[in-house]
Amino acid sequence: MTATDFARQLHAFLTNYLPMQRNVSANTIKSYRDTFTLLLRYCRDGRQLTIERFTLVQFDETLITDFLAYLENERQCRITTRNQRLAALHAFARYLQVEAPARIAQWQRLLSIPFKRHERHLPTYLTPDEMQCVLAQPKMTTRQGRRDLVLLSLMYDTGARVQEIADLQVRDVRLESPAQVRITGKGRKTRVVPLMPNTVALLTGYVQEHGFDARTQGEAPFFLNTRRQPYTRSGIAVLVQKYVTSARQQMPSLPARVTPHAFRHSKAMHMLQAGIPLIIIRDFLGHVDIKTSEIYARVDLEMKRQALEKLHQPVTPQGLPAWEDDAALMDWLRSL
């Protein structure tokens, strides 16, 4: 069977354009792939369309609008998930504007489908005391405990995303002065992050204990789980929650659920509260736009507002006087 124009374009989009030209990460490609998997299943089950015969003509604004409604109403997806799926479809439509320009008006109608506004929740982060309590939980007397402490400390000290820690290789860590770690983030972009002395001491002991040699083991994973396999995002999430649950017995103020990303948020907040400019925090975290980093400034302002509400004695009046009851003022107004 001859492949349809939709099949050819989607194959080229996922296997050539995204990884080769856009240089996006494997996780982004998987997310886009999952979006089109859901779309094609919807076309088959909800529209009774034959996938083998699905063409670009059918990939239109009406179909996508109905698909988004299906995600929200039948699959009960959140607005953020709905917007994420739409972002993948928008990316494909922008690609088609160049690769299939004969239908450019159709692709531009797809691009006009708006994202839905949603309430943006402030990021969860830990105070320095709470973070210190969590990092005190791994048992230094065991090999596994020492590995866990190094992993959690490095994740906080570098503000790395969980996937960046999972992808870390032996060659990425430099302990000689100036100590630093090379992190590969979104879009396969790399950044170099300096390491603090305490973290360098932990890493030095970890490297010596495991006998790492960057010359012979450069591409080896820096962290392995108990099965001697590279850590996954879910594996690190379980590890974080394990120690947070343990720490809550000593410090009940800790949130009941803490994700690995909260370590990144915590590092950013602690840097901001230490007076470090946002532009440096942006580069440290690997944000493309400083607007992404500004959320931490908003959180800091909210904290200050709440503190002022607790301490501040009101001085300003509760409201304006009832000027309508001033007969002289009313007579003067009528005379104008």
DSSP state of 120: P
Look-up of token digits 């430099």: 174
pLDDT classification of 88: cutoffs 50, 70, 90: very high
Residue 40 burial by CB count (10 A; 0-12/13-18/19+): exposed, middle or buried?
A: middle
Rounded to an integer, what is the distance from CA 206 to the centroid of its chain?
A: 28
Same domain, 153 and 245: yes
Same domain, 92 and 181: no
Domain span at residue 288? 128-311
CA-wise closest residue to 287 among 170, 183, 156: 183
pLDDT in tens, 123-171: 788 999 999 999 999 999 999 999 999 999 999 999 999 999 999 999 9
- Put simply, whether the predicted model's pTM sits higher than 0.75 gets the answer no
What pLDDT, on a 0 to 100 scale, did the predictor assign at position 327? Answer: 74
Same domain, 106 and 144: no
For 159, how many CA atoms within 13 A lie in the half-sphere containing its CB?
A: 22
What pLDDT, on a 0 to 100 scale, did the predictor assign at position 290? Answer: 64
What pLDDT, on a 0 to 100 scale, did the predictor assign at position 24? Answer: 83
Residue 179 tokens read as 């100590």
Residue-averaged pLDDT of the chain: 87
Same domain, 170 and 260: yes
Separation of alpha carbons 51 and 53, rounded Å: 5
Residue 246 lies in a domain: yes
Question: Residue 320 pLDDT > 70, yes or no?
Answer: no
The mean-pLDDT minimum among 4-8, 272-276, 285-289 falls in: 285-289
Catalytic residues: 161, 186, 261, 264, 287, 296
Question: Residue 303 pLDDT > 90, yes or no?
Answer: no
Same domain, 207 and 93: no
Mean pLDDT value across residues 225-248: 92
pLDDT in tens, 171-193: 999 999 899 999 988 767 888 99
Question: Residue 45 pLDDT > 60, yes or no?
Answer: yes
Same domain, 84 and 160: no
DSSP state of 315: -
Lateral strand order in the sheet of 173-174:
173-174, 180-184, 190-194
Total structural domains within the chain:
2
